[in-house]
């Protein structure tokens, strides 16, 4: 009888002690925390921010000559090179790879500057002109990026990583291949925290620039060649593409896009270098 009472008393005392164990210790005893409990790796894009503010103007055009004389780009590429993007959250990873694409594109131009178009960058020269041959010596296939010990080309970043791993068509409003018909180069680095806002803003800037897309109530739609090349990233049909684009407009244009009844024509792509005077300080 006394033994039974003694063990019962021990059980009660043990239960009271467990009840008052601090929350942190109880949590640690439940096993390892999930990934959502671990602080995610963050990349410092401050160097790229400062470079973009200084050398990109309000129209998204780039002072490549100025960047060529500056060390900030190489310093930022070192930050990217020493990062393992697999340790980033999805939003931070998308932002990382967009920044990497844009930064290494600038590097490609700067290393070959002066040049009239990214497509001129090639080891082959004909009568003094550099000629890029797609799938043979295209500048987009040069393995110029070094990320976490891996050599990557611009095509690897765009098609092998961003388009393949992430269901995010808005990347096409952010990737800038150093050409006039590209979206404007944003004067700030992309970050995971601000990515949704930044990509939506890029979409509106790109779609409402009549030199890149001419979308009016009367129609037809004159769209960037980007929507021809990558229609499948946005929708499975031209009607679906219009429905997708409708979210970035208001009023009657939005309604007509949502109905998918416009005829679509695609503008020629201007590969001239997106060069401009330095932004006002």
Q: Do 151 and 145 form a contact (C-beta atoms < 8 A)?
A: yes
Q: What is the mean pLDDT of residues 138-151?
A: 94
pLDDT of residue 190: 98
pLDDT of residue 15: 44
Separation between Cα atoms, residue 104 and residue 92, nearest integer Å: 18
13, pLDDT greater than 70: no
35-44, 102-111, 254-263, 266-275: which range is least confident on average? 35-44
Who contacts 75 (Cβ-Cβ below 8 Å, separation ≥6)?
Answer: 47
pTM flag (> 0.75)? yes
Percent of the chain exceeding pLDDT 90 equals: 75
Give residue 132's pLDDT band: very low, low, confident or very high (50, 70, 90): low
Give residue 253's pLDDT band: very low, low, confident or very high (50, 70, 90): very high
Who contacts 50 (Cβ-Cβ below 8 Å, separation ≥6)?
Answer: 72
Structure tokens at 46: 């401050």
Give residue 133's pLDDT band: very low, low, confident or very high (50, 70, 90): low
Q: What is the pLDDT of residues 162-184, one digit of tens each?
A: 999 999 999 999 999 999 999 99
Q: What is the pLDDT of residues 182-198, one digit of tens each?
A: 999 999 999 999 999 99
Q: What is the domain partition of the chain in residue ranges?
A: 2-37, 46-266
Structure tokens at 3: 């033994």
Percent of the chain exceeding pLDDT 70 equals: 79
Is 108 in a helix, a strand, or coil? helix
Structure tokens at 228: 């021809």
17, pLDDT greater than 60: no
């Amino acid at each position: 009888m006394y033994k039974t009472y003694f063990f019962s008393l021990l059980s009660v005392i043990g239960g009271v002690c467990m009840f008052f164990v601090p929350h942190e210790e109880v949590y640690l005893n439940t096993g390892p925390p999930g990934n959502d409990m671990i602080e995610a790796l963050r990349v410092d894009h401050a160097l790229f921010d400062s470079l973009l503010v200084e050398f990109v103007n309000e129209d998204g055009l780039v002072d490549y000559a100025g960047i060529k004389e500056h060390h900030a780009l190489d310093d930022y590429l070192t930050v990217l090179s020493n990062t393992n993007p697999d340790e980033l959250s999805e939003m931070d990873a998308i932002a990382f790879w967009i920044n990497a694409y844009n930064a290494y594109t600038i590097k490609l131009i700067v290393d070959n500057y002066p040049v009239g178009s990214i497509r001129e960058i090639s080891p082959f020269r004909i009568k003094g002109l550099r000629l890029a041959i797609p799938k043979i010596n295209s500048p987009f296939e040069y393995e110029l990026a070094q990320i976490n010990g891996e050599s990557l080309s611009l095509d690897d970043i765009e098609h092998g990583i961003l388009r393949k791993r992430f269901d995010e068509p808005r990347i096409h409003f952010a990737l800038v291949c150093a050409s006039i018909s590209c979206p404007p180069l944003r004067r700030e680095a992309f970050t995971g925290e601000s990515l949704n806002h930044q990509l939506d803003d890029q979409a509106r800037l790109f779609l409402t620039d009549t030199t890149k897309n001419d979308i009016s109530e009367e129609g037809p739609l004159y769209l960037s060649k980007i929507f021809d090349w990558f229609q499948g990233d946005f929708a499975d049909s031209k009607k679906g593409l219009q429905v997708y684009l409708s979210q970035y407009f208001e009023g009657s244009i939005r309604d007509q896009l949502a109905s998918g009844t416009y005829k679509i024509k695609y503008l020629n792509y201007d590969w001239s270098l997106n060069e401009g005077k330095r932004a006002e300080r």
